Amino acid sequence: MPGVVVVGMQFGDESKGAVVDYLARDADLVVRYNGGANAGHTVATGELELKFRLMPSGALWGKRLVIGSGVVVDPKVLLDEIEALRRVGVEPNLLVSRKAHVVMPYHKVIDAGKMAGS
Catalytic annotation, residues: 13, 41
Can you name the residues that pair with 29 across neighbouring β-strands?
64
Can you name the residues that pair with 48 across neighbouring β-strands?
45
Q: Can you list the alpha helix ranges (DSSP code H) found in the chain?
A: 16-24, 75-87, 105-117
**Which residues, in sequence order, are CB contacts of 23 under 8 Å at separation 6+?**
4, 6
Q: Can you list the alpha helix ranges (DSSP code H) found in 33-103?
A: 75-87
